[in-house]
């Protein structure tokens, strides 16, 4: 099924499940980091035209008569903070023109500490951003150099302080552990410093060696040795314990929040809520409803290809997929266990598929083994369960 190109998609997005999330992918970075496989370009040719092209892409979806309500707006990338304040203003105006942004909407911008200063952070507040996601990654100079980051640990510290001074009351810090060459003590020093800075939210990811990255080549050629699985698992357990002791709620495999400060935008991905993505490589999702099955589509992963289609008045989509009930069911299990907990009744309602007796038994066994708990009708993994999350998902996916 092809989404309606004249606004039907947006009506569907604004349907039974209420407001939607919006994402804009800014495909520019000062320099590619060694481990990154997100779509982004060091060459900033095309950056001047970017805001206008996003504005035109928005117009391909917008329904002027019945604009969709928006509860979260997220600028990711790439590095959104390489855009000028004037360019961000154009984008914010375009979203406000075409959507009904709720007064208490969560509006996040990802920033690289090497690309902001007190003036730009103050300007972000005045443009309506109320949440910053700061790519700190580490306070260890050696780890930052290994990762190929453009900023220093002091830049990150300054960025956090300047963000508070600019009035941001909701900060998220991204960190990476299991960096080759980094000692466990160095990682825990980074984590402890991050906790001491009291951000509302911390994302702590283990370093993944993605194909088609310089890091992958280094590993393949034997120049870099990744952490072993047991060592990585031990760091994960230590990370969970420290963050939990500091009062952070572990609400997704890699995400931790102070009470009331979970990322509403990312939670909508994990809850199978509808979202619409703009920019090259951005993804969109519409949940199943009375109006039709669940849909997912992704934009062309090339600035040139994406721009060319928008200039022709076409939706810049490279792949569209209608999700079968079985796919919605399987994803519901996977996403639920990785994040806010598995809500069996909701998964059954959205997929039209019932859990089998065997699957009910598997969940009961997980609780019995201390790998999950049942709270308010949801099964949530315990720290021991999170360590073997993939294995648990695979066990549950067998009907
Ligand atoms: S700054 Fe972020 S998006 Fe850009 S290359 Fe580094 S990790 Fe990737």
For the entire predicted model, the pTM comes to: 0.94
Which pLDDT does position 147 carry in this prediction? 96
Which pLDDT does position 13 carry in this prediction? 55
Neighbouring CB atoms inside 10 A of 236's CB total 19
Kindly give the distance from the C-alpha atom of residue 167 to the centroid of ligand 1, in angstroms, as a whole number.
25
Q: 6 falls in which pLDDT band (50, 70, 90)?
A: very low
Q: What is the pLDDT of residues 301-324, one digit of tens each?
A: 999 999 999 999 999 999 999 999
Kindly give the distance from the C-alpha atom of residue 152 to the centroid of ligand 1, in angstroms, as a whole number.
15
Ligand 1 atom, smallest distance to 150 CA: 1
Q: Which of 203, 207, 206, 205 is nearest to 250 (CA)?
A: 203
Task: Determine whether the shortest distance from the Cβ of 205 to ligand 1 is under 6 A.
Answer: no
CATH topology of domain 325-396: Arc Repressor Mutant, subunit A (1.10.10)
Task: Determine whether the shortest distance from the Cβ of 280 to ligand 1 is under 6 A.
Answer: no
CATH 3.20.20.70 domain position(s) in the chain: 8-269
Task: Determine whether the shortest distance from the Cβ of 36 to ligand 1 is under 6 A.
Answer: yes
Q: What is the pLDDT of residues 349-381, one digit of tens each?
A: 889 999 999 999 999 999 999 999 999 889 999
**Whether residue 290 has pLDDT greater than 70:** yes
Kindly give the distance from the C-alpha atom of residue 367 to the centroid of ligand 1, in angstroms, as a whole number.
39
Task: Determine whether the shortest distance from the Cβ of 29 to ligand 1 is under 6 A.
Answer: yes
Kindly give the distance from the C-alpha atom of residue 49 to the centroid of ligand 1, in angstroms, as a whole number.
21
Task: Determine whether the shortest distance from the Cβ of 78 to ligand 1 is under 6 A.
Answer: yes
With the most atoms of ligand 1 within 8 angstroms of its CB, the residue from 25, 40, 43 to mutate is 40
Give the C-alpha distances (Å, rounded to integers) separating 90 from 72, 230, 313: 18, 48, 20
d(CA 106, CA 130): 7
Q: What is the pLDDT of residues 156-178, one digit of tens each?
A: 999 999 999 999 999 999 999 99
Ligand 1 atom, smallest distance to 31 CA: 5
Kindly give the distance from the C-alpha atom of residue 97 to the centroid of ligand 1, in angstroms, as a whole number.
30
Task: Determine whether the shortest distance from the Cβ of 79 to ligand 1 is under 6 A.
Answer: yes
Q: What is the pLDDT of residues 102-116, one digit of tens each?
A: 999 999 999 999 999
d(CA 389, CA 378): 16
d(CA 396, CA 399): 7
Q: 3 falls in which pLDDT band (50, 70, 90)?
A: very low
Kindly give the distance from the C-alpha atom of residue 394 to the centroid of ligand 1, in angstroms, as a whole number.
31
**Whether residue 74 has pLDDT greater than 70:** yes
Indicate the SS3 state at residue 23.
strand
More confident residue, 155 or 6: 155
Task: Determine whether the shortest distance from the Cβ of 33 to ligand 1 is under 6 A.
Answer: yes
**Whether residue 399 has pLDDT greater than 70:** yes
- As a whole number, the mean pLDDT across the chain is 92
Kindly give the distance from the C-alpha atom of residue 33 to the centroid of ligand 1, in angstroms, as a whole number.
5
Task: Determine whether the shortest distance from the Cβ of 112 to ligand 1 is under 6 A.
Answer: yes
Kindly give the distance from the C-alpha atom of residue 229 to the centroid of ligand 1, in angstroms, as a whole number.
25
Q: What is the pLDDT of residues 200-237, one digit of tens each?
A: 999 999 999 999 899 999 999 999 999 999 999 999 99
Q: Using the Cα atoms of residue 264, residue 267, residue 268 and residue 271 in order, give the sign of their dihedral.
A: negative
Which pLDDT does position 1 carry in this prediction? 36
CATH 1.10.10.920 domain position(s) in the chain: 325-396
* Residues β-bridged to residue 153: none
Task: Determine whether the shortest distance from the Cβ of 77 to ligand 1 is under 6 A.
Answer: yes
Q: What is the pLDDT of residues 12-44, one digit of tens each?
A: 454 444 688 999 999 999 999 999 999 999 988
Kindly give the distance from the C-alpha atom of residue 150 to the centroid of ligand 1, in angstroms, as a whole number.
10
Ligand 1 atom, smallest distance to 36 CA: 8
Task: Give the residue, by CA position, lying nearest to ligand 1 atom 8.
Answer: 36
Mean pLDDT for the stretch of residues 179-183: 95
Outline where DSSP puts E strands in the chain: 20-26, 69-77, 100-111, 131-137, 171-177, 201-206, 249-252, 255-257, 275-278, 283-286, 295-299, 317-322, 342-343, 372-375, 378-381
Q: 9 falls in which pLDDT band (50, 70, 90)?
A: low
Which pLDDT does position 130 carry in this prediction? 98
Does the structural domain 8-269 have CATH classification 3.20.20.70? yes
Which pLDDT does position 144 carry in this prediction? 97
Q: What is the pLDDT of residues 342-351, one digit of tens each?
A: 999 999 988 9
Kindly give the distance from the C-alpha atom of residue 78 to the centroid of ligand 1, in angstroms, as a whole number.
5
Q: What is the pLDDT of residues 108-157, one digit of tens each?
A: 999 999 999 999 999 999 999 999 999 999 999 999 999 999 999 999 99
Task: Determine whether the shortest distance from the Cβ of 32 to ligand 1 is under 6 A.
Answer: yes
Which pLDDT does position 287 carry in this prediction? 81
Check whether the bond before 78 is cis (ω within 30° of 0).
yes
């Amino acid at each position: 099924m092809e989404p309606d190109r004249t606004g039907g998609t947006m009506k569907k997005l604004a349907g039974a499940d209420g407001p939607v999330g919006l994402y804009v992918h800014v495909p520019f970075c000062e320099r590619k980091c060694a481990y990154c496989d997100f779509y982004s370009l060091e060459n900033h040719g095309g950056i001047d035209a970017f805001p206008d092209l996003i504005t035109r892409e928005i117009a391909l979806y917008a329904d002027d008569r019945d604009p969709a309500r928006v509860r979260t707006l997220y600028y990711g990338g790439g590095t959104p903070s390489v855009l000028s304040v004037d360019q961000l203003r154009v984008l914010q105006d375009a979203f406000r023109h075409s959507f009904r942004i709720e007064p208490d909407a969560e509006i996040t911008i990802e920033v690289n500490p090497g690309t902001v200063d007190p003036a730009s952070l103050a300007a972000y507040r005045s443009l309506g951003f109320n949440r910053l996601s700061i790519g700190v990654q580490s306070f260890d100079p050696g780890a930052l150099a290994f990762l190929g980051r453009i900023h220093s640990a002091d830049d990150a510290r300054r960025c956090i302080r300047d963000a508070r001074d600019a009035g941001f009351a909701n900060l998220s810090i991204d960190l990476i552990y299991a960096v080759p060459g980094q000692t466990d003590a160095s990682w825990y020093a980074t984590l402890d410093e991050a906790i001491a800075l009291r951000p509302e939210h911390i994302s702590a990811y283990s370093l993944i060696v993605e194909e088609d990255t310089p890091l992958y080549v280094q590993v393949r050629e034997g120049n870099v040795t990744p952490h072993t699985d047991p060592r990585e698992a031990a760091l994960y357990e230590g990370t969970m314990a420290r963050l939990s002791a500091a009062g952070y709620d572990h609400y997704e495999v890699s995400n931790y929040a102070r009470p009331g400060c979970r990322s509403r935008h990312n939670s909508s991905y994990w809850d199978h809520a509808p979202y619409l993505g703009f920019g090259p490589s951005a993804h969109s999702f519409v949940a199943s409803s009375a109006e039709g099955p669940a849909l997912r589509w992704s934009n062309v992963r090339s600035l040139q290809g994406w721009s060319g289609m928008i200039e022709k008045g076409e939706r810049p989509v490279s792949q569209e997929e209608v999700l079968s009930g079985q796919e919605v069911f399987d994803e519901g299990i996977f996403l639920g266990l990785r994040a806010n907990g598995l809500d069996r009744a909701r998964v059954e309602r959205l997929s039209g598929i019932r859990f089998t007796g065997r699957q009910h038994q598997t969940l009961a066994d997980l609780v019995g083994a201390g790998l999950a708990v049942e709270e308010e009708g949801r099964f949530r993994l315990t720290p021991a369960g999170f360590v073997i999350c993939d294995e648990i998902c695979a066990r549950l996916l067998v009907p």
